[in-house]
Structure 1
Amino acid sequence: MGQPPLAEKEKTKRWVDGGLLGGRSALEFGPEVHGGTLIEQVGGSLRSFDPMGRLCCFVTSYSQEEFWIDPNRSISKAYERTDQAILSHGSDLGRGGSTAVTAILLNGQKLWVANVGDSRAVLSRGGQAIQMSTDHEPNTERGSIEHRGGFVSNMPGDVPRVNGQLAVSRAFGDKSLKSHLRSDPDMQETIIDNNIDTLILASDGLWKVLTNQEAVDIARKIKDPLKAAKQLTAEALKRDSKDDISCVVVRFRG
């Protein structure tokens, strides 16, 4: 008997609010949006889009069998291939890069979250915010950056940056800084039990102005995930967020 599907969608509601992604609805592309690049998990593969919503690359998918045997390795390989594909399309995408956060629900029970950079995943467990991702900041990964020949500077703007340029220590793309950056994800897993009701995936434009708990409190008050995602984006703009704002709200129950 084969393994069950990677994602159970029947009882899970989600909404993607495209925020400031080129004026187009991210719902056209799929469940996960972050920074200037959208990463979509579709049937065991990752597809990448540039900020205008154009498909820029397609990463070779892993098999379901491979994923069930070793999810960590499969996700790491998918991230590595995505980074390589984005770098190979540098002439089309320019010199920039992207952070990423992905969430994969296995058999409707086990949630795997992976990320690079400062796009973040936050769960609500009984109303308490639980961060499921790691913010990759230059100060916390200074050793890795320096080992790769780079440096961390707090100029400009008194913000720690790789070589005085990039405010994250891991990212896809960013070809000019790639030798000093990592693109391997940190991963966490958890069981979706009856206490978990909501998952928020969002870019740093949201998290720079909202705490994890504030975001959870807002999302939980709104049953419709569409309206919840839009409200989170609107609240970030109200608080004068200056960065790209992209948001996914997933409701497991309620």
Structure 2
Amino acid sequence: MEEEEARCFLRKFVEEFPAALEEGGPLPVNPLSCRVSVEELQGESLELGLRLLTARGSPAGLRALLCQAALSQLLQDDLSPFHYPQEAEANQGEEQEVILLQSEEVQRLFINKLINVALTWHRSHPKLPSSPSRYLHCSVHAIKNTRRKMEDKHLALAEFNQLFGIQDGVQRAYYAVFDGHGGVDAAIYTATHLHVSLSKQETLQSDTAVAFKTAFTHTDDMFRGKAKRERLRSGSTGVAVLIQGQELTVSWLGDSQAVLVRKGQTITLMNPHKPDREDEKQRIEDLGGCVTFMGCWRVNGTYAVSRAIGDFDQKPYVSGDADCSTTQLLGNEDYLLLACDGFFDAVSLSEVPQLVLDALHQPDDLEEGGGDTPLDQSDDAVGLRVAQWLVAHAKAAGSSDNITVMLVFLRPPQQLFVHDSTAVTAQATQDSITQDAPQQ
């Protein structure tokens, strides 16, 4: 079925794009940036390619393989014809000069390589690898809520290995939620580049925590260059998870959170970074900063988070150093939930299991009210409803912030109905695995 679906998509895609895009013509999807550094090219090209293919209904595994193949060809080309005029960057300061590329033109080349790969595969009918065997249905919903702008970003990438051409026999899936503030630029940047940096770390398999911390630091450093070039002042918290074989590693900056639910019980994975957390407050004061209450606890009277990508006017008080924890999966886990503080400010961790069960019993139309029997529809339909219902609950509970909820099912949603309701609502203190954040 996967092979047939892939063939069908390729046929439709080459019908829409039978030849390379003409020079000077409009692109079918807009690049994220006008100028892009050579180091940023990989992340921005993959983001653009995935967006283009997703909008046309490409199967997830196929779009990852197409993007990886096209990018590999692009990086072998001479990109000097796309260099941005050097004189435009002459007054950027004393730091080493960064080569920038004209994004629209280099991305036209990338899309043309994507079209060429699709045409070749359509004609030659190569054997296409199947999707990961682990059951990882993902349900996501995000709303602007009452805020003026939507500053959250998220990424679900069950095809991590296929996107980066990793063939070491270890299954990997990546999920992340980023909560921007002062603009969406930092959140977009982190969602575009963090997983790319992670894929390049030599310690990815041997020590994923070190790989994650290095990737966060590198992404923050990369964003510093862009922020300086384009005079950006935004920041972003973030929580990212890599499921690697039977190992789950979570890495985070700030107060976006992830929680694991096993047999209806919450498993604590992390301790969010907040300015009033005792060790965070001490770290900031040791650096010469202060934490004050101004409606909420703030670093030096400004940001309400103590760690983030960006926020360079308050570095190092607002730290870019991520924390990590690792949990072994036993095979009896239900799901993983990632969300920004717009959700967790209105919903406690202990409420999550019962809320998810309640959501699974909801009918198709959320406005029609609740239901008493489990749904017998597809897992895709059920899963989508769960994220929508959780977001609606957080809003009704008083959240006025942007809300993003991502639910990664580690078993089919229908199987969750076997849990006894008393077990779901019981305290998980004795069964929880609590891992304190590393001290700075």
CA distance in structure 1 between the partners assigned to 2:152 and 2:212 by the alignment = 26
Indicate conservation of the 8 Å contact 1:16/1:26, yes or no.
no
The equivalent position to 1:209 in structure 2, one of 342, 346, 350, is 346
2:281 paired with 1:142 = yes
SS of the aligned residue for 2:250 comes to strand
SS of the aligned residue for 2:315 comes to helix
Post-superposition offset of 1:82:
1.3
CA distance in structure 1 between the partners assigned to 2:154 and 2:317 by the alignment = 34
CA distance in structure 2 between the partners assigned to 1:56 and 1:195 by the alignment = 30
2:282 paired with 1:124 = no
- Write the letter of the residue equivalent to 1:102: A
CA distance in structure 2 between the partners assigned to 1:10 and 1:125 by the alignment = 17
2:144 paired with 1:20 = yes
Aligned-residue RMSD, C-alpha = 2.9
Q: What is the 5 A alignment of 1:171-186?
A: 171-186=308-323
1:104–1:220 CA distance, 2 compared to 1 (3 A): farther
The equivalent position to 1:58 in structure 2, one of 193, 200, 204, is 193
- The number of residue pairs the alignment matches comes to 234
1:33–1:27 CA distance, 2 compared to 1 (3 A): closer
- Write the letter of the residue equivalent to 1:171: A
SS of the aligned residue for 2:330 comes to coil
SS of the aligned residue for 2:180 comes to coil
CA distance in structure 2 between the partners assigned to 1:67 and 1:114 by the alignment = 13
Post-superposition offset of 1:24:
10
SS of the aligned residue for 1:86 comes to helix
Post-superposition offset of 1:34:
2.6
CA distance in structure 2 between the partners assigned to 1:29 and 1:11 by the alignment = 14
2:386 paired with 1:228 = yes
Post-superposition offset of 1:209:
0.5
Greater Cα shift, 24-33 or 76-85: 24-33
Post-superposition offset of 1:77:
0.5
2:328 paired with 1:191 = yes
CA distance in structure 2 between the partners assigned to 1:24 and 1:170 by the alignment = 17
Aligned to 1:46: none
1:9–1:178 CA distance, 2 compared to 1 (3 A): farther
Q: Percent identity?
A: 30
1:185–1:194 CA distance, 2 compared to 1 (3 A): same
CA distance in structure 1 between the partners assigned to 2:253 and 2:353 by the alignment = 22
Which runs of no fewer than 5 residues in structure 1 stay unpaired?
A: 1-6, 38-48
SS of the aligned residue for 2:395 comes to helix
Larger Rg: 2
1:49-89 CA distance string (max 9 Å, x none): 73895888635454475311221211110010111122222
Aligned to 2:244: 106
TM-score, normalisation: structure 2? 0.48
TM-score, normalisation: structure 1? 0.80
1:186-235 CA distance string (max 9 Å, x none): 21111222331011000000000001122232224426332211111111
CA distance in structure 2 between the partners assigned to 1:174 and 1:142 by the alignment = 17
1:123–1:29 CA distance, 2 compared to 1 (3 A): closer
- Write the letter of the residue equivalent to 2:144: L
CA distance in structure 2 between the partners assigned to 1:191 and 1:88 by the alignment = 37
Which runs of no fewer than 5 residues in structure 2 stay unpaired?
A: 1-130, 158-174, 361-378, 416-440
2:265 paired with 1:161 = no
- Write the letter of the residue equivalent to 1:146: E
CA distance in structure 1 between the partners assigned to 2:309 and 2:395 by the alignment = 26
1:247–1:152 CA distance, 2 compared to 1 (3 A): same
**Higher helix content, 1 or 2:** 2
CA distance in structure 1 between the partners assigned to 2:333 and 2:224 by the alignment = 37
Greater RCO structure (CA 8 Å; 6+ sep): 1
CA distance in structure 1 between the partners assigned to 2:262 and 2:315 by the alignment = 37
1:35–1:27 CA distance, 2 compared to 1 (3 A): closer
Indicate conservation of the 8 Å contact 1:8/1:106, yes or no.
no
1:228–1:121 CA distance, 2 compared to 1 (3 A): same
Indicate conservation of the 8 Å contact 2:234/2:310, yes or no.
yes
**Higher strand content, 1 or 2:** 1
CA distance in structure 1 between the partners assigned to 2:340 and 2:231 by the alignment = 19
SS of the aligned residue for 2:316 comes to helix
Indicate conservation of the 8 Å contact 2:335/2:410, yes or no.
yes
